[in-house]
Amino acid sequence: MHRFLPLLLFFMPFGLRAQTDSLTNEVGEDLLENFLQEQEEDTEFDYNDLFDDLDYLRRRPLDLNRATGADLDVFLFLNELQKNALLRYREEVGDLISIYELQAIPEFDLVAIKRMLPFVKVNEPGLLGFSKDYYIDEGKSEVLLRWSRILEDQKGYNIPDEATTSSRYFGSPDRLYLRYRYRLRNRISIGVTAEKDGGETFFRGSNKQGFDFYSAHLFFRDVNKHIKAIALGDFSVAMGQGLIIYQGFATRKSVFATTIKRSGRTLRQYSSVNEFDFFRGAGATFAFGKNWELTAFGSHRARDANLDAVAIDTLESPDELGAQFATSLQISGLHRTQAEIDDENAIRQTSAGGVLKYSQRRWHIALNGLYEHLDKPLQRSPALYNQFYFNGTNLANLSADYAFTFRNYHFFGETALSDNGALATLNGLLIGLDRRVDLALFYRNFPRDYQSLNPKPLAETTGARNEQGFYVGISMEPARQWRLNGYFDLWKHPWLRFGVDAPSNGYEWLVRLTFVQRKKMEAYAQVKHEVKEENSNVETGKTDPLVNRAITQARIHLSYKLSKTLEWRSRFDFGYYEKDGEKLKGISLFQDIIYKPLGFPVSFSTRFAIFDTDGYAIRFYSYENDVLNQFSVPAYYDRGNRFYLTAKYRINRNLTLEGRYARTVYPNVESIGTGLDEIRGDTRSEVKAQLRLSL
């Protein structure tokens, strides 16, 4: 029976009636699953405000007749050709009379339109002034309170106090989150965020001030015709295509194959709990005439860093503490053990920069500059692969970025210079070959010695260094209701990398065929294949020869409306992994039920998943519904099953209570996890509750 259960579960929905689909979490599902799959290391995702703007627009829809190009950047699933086409259509034809008029724009297909519908409207009167009633009627305040914890005992919480303090967690397993935010359309944002991770102390120990992390911002946009933005407190900066800096979430290669351009305003408010990827200080954007724009900012903040233990131990007196240096900058934001607390705020970073931009209707060019200073030198442990990485206290970067549209061609790119003389460049082209076919071409060349502290260009690896590559993406509508997306990426690394002891090569391709039956269902089939060179695991002597590591993963996915309030989703993943003659395989299957009644205060979503893989190397990432502003994208691997239930109760129009319970069972293991996170037993479960007050 167990052999036929996956097929039975998958095909059950096909006999049921369906109606219209609403955008649930399709965009996040595709972007985040691909983001984590493309990561070189398994890291926790922590950009809680990623879809803040979409959540706001769900309740305060964007007027398409007054939307600017920057306003459209919030729709991560749109490419530049689609954004420009909407603006051009409005310019040539006039205001839209209905949101369904988007179907008259050749670049917009049914999938893109369906994804936009919950967040847009047309023909809203212009905003007139800033009266008291305007602030009350249009402004929105929101308070979020969240609590969560792992239910099973983890090793780090069960070590006696008299044991070595560096090998236990000082705080409770409870994770706490508090956020207040006032928002006036896209004009004003005021917010305070606080968080305590599991294992961190609360109002004691190293956190006598309460929460472990605090963040606050005050942000104004379009103040008048000369002041386009003012940021005070915590804010994020995005320059060009990310060769110098691009703070916040930056998409990787994904099924949105032609959405390859970094876009958005230079300054943005910051309200996430990622504890390293932001600036703290002030910034402003000024407009000079119709075409010139200048952004300037400054930041000074503490950073977590690992200080060199040998240097500290050999100091003769406390007066010589200036001799300390950092071997790495930490990004986890966790301060649970003594070692993590010692790294907290160990180094101070001062940043200053600016952007000078000249824009016309169809093109722009910008000059970007960033200066970084660390109060203690960064000196990484020497190795062949990292000998060209940045070390020292001061780093300066300059770049120029451009974009212009000519008919159905959109060109963009950036070239950047680090102060050691290394020059990195990337250039892209989006082409509307036909009203049903879009093509993306993208070339990057990052030398091994290019240096920047936080670059995020579109690439195979992170760090914007030691990579040359060429990418081709296509999005086409071969027939009505059908959509084909795919890409092919070819790259090489001219120098060594971590775990790769010689220059290496690789390639990757993805194809997805989607069928959309409007008001009924959406289904797709997808295949992804990647081959890259890595060190062999077979002992052959002093050196490790390179061998190909190949991964192939295929997926069949169905979203099906059983009624206006009930949706059924099915997914079946299977894949293969091969390296050094070792062959691994795996499968994953889940069933979702999403219940969103009209006019009833309770809604919920639930999933049951089973998975069976030969190990972590053949894992499957699966996006899960969660409470507002939380993301759960666990990796399904080994053998087990997973269940979760997320429920929302709207107490009244202003107050909403959400809860979530998730459990994973690995029936053939004696413990789960490693180190201080180890759980004795075969079950790991988490509970979460959130209260949301909106005014």
DSSP letters along 236-301, please?
Answer: EEB-TTSSSBB-S----S-S-TT-----S-SEEE-----SSSSEEEEEEEEEETTTEEEEEEEEEE
Residue 26 pLDDT > 60, yes or no?
no
CA 508/CA 657 separation, integer angstroms = 43
Task: Give the 3-state secondary structure of 583-615.
Answer: EEEEEEEEEEEEECCCCCCEEEEEEEEEEEECC
What is the phi-psi region of residue 223: left when phi exceeds 0, alpha when psi lies from -120 to 50, beta otherwise?
alpha
Element (H, E) at 690: strand 683-694
What is the phi-psi region of residue 638: left when phi exceeds 0, alpha when psi lies from -120 to 50, beta otherwise?
left
Q: What is the mean pLDDT of the segment spanning 186-206?
A: 93
CA 70/CA 95 separation, integer angstroms = 18
CA 436/CA 232 separation, integer angstroms = 44
pTM, full prediction:
0.86
Model pLDDT for residues 622-648, shown as the tens digit of each residue: 888 888 878 788 899 999 999 999 999
> Where residue 143 falls among pLDDT bands split at 50, 70, 90?
very high
- What is the pLDDT at residue 34? 63
- Of 693, 626, 635, nearest to 664 by C-alpha is 635
Among 163-177, 316-330, 608-622, whose mean pLDDT is lowest?
316-330
Among 81-90, 109-118, 185-194, whose mean pLDDT is lowest?
109-118
Model pLDDT for residues 237-273, shown as the tens digit of each residue: 999 999 999 998 888 898 889 999 998 889 999 988 8
CA distances from 293 to 239, 266, 353, 363 (A): 13, 11, 14, 14
The two tokens of residue 420 are 């050691």
Is 481 in a helix, a strand, or coil?
coil
Residue 135 pLDDT > 80, yes or no?
no
Residue 592 pLDDT > 60, yes or no?
yes
Q: Which residue is it, tokens 């102060």?
A: 419
Q: What is the mean pLDDT of the segment spanning 83-97?
A: 84
DSSP for 312-342, please give it.
Answer: HHT-SSGGGGGG--EEEE--S----SHHHHH
Model pLDDT for residues 478-498, shown as the tens digit of each residue: 988 899 999 999 999 999 999
273 near 213, Cβ under 8 Å? yes
Query: How many other CB atoms sit within 10 Å of the CB of residue 519?
Result: 12
- What is the pLDDT at residue 48? 59
CA 460/CA 34 separation, integer angstroms = 12
Q: What is the mean pLDDT of the segment spanning 300-310?
A: 85
567 near 560, Cβ under 8 Å? yes
Q: Share the mean pLDDT of the chain.
A: 86
Model pLDDT for residues 424-483, shown as the tens digit of each residue: 999 999 999 988 899 999 999 999 999 999 999 999 998 899 999 999 999 999 988 899
605 near 29, Cβ under 8 Å? no
206 near 266, Cβ under 8 Å? no
Q: What percent of the chain has pLDDT over 70?
A: 87
- What is the pLDDT at residue 63? 87
Element (H, E) at 191: strand 188-196
CA 85/CA 72 separation, integer angstroms = 12
143 near 179, Cβ under 8 Å? yes
The two tokens of residue 207 are 């956190």
Query: How many other CB atoms sit within 10 Å of the CB of residue 335?
Result: 28
- What is the pLDDT at residue 574? 96
DSSP 675: G
484 near 512, Cβ under 8 Å? yes
- What is the pLDDT at residue 38? 60
CA 11/CA 386 separation, integer angstroms = 50
- What is the pLDDT at residue 92? 81
- What is the pLDDT at residue 39? 59
DSSP 135: H
Pick 183 or 113 by higher pLDDT: 183
Model pLDDT for residues 345-403, shown as the tens digit of each residue: 999 999 999 999 999 988 999 999 999 999 999 999 899 999 999 999 999 999 999 99
Pick 30 or 535 by higher pLDDT: 535
- What is the pLDDT at residue 324? 82
Q: In Å, how far from its chain's centre is CA 248?
A: 7
Contacts of 7 (CB under 8 A, 6+ apart): none
Model pLDDT for residues 647-669, shown as the tens digit of each residue: 999 999 899 999 999 999 999 89
Residue 1 pLDDT > 80, yes or no?
no
114 near 100, Cβ under 8 Å? no
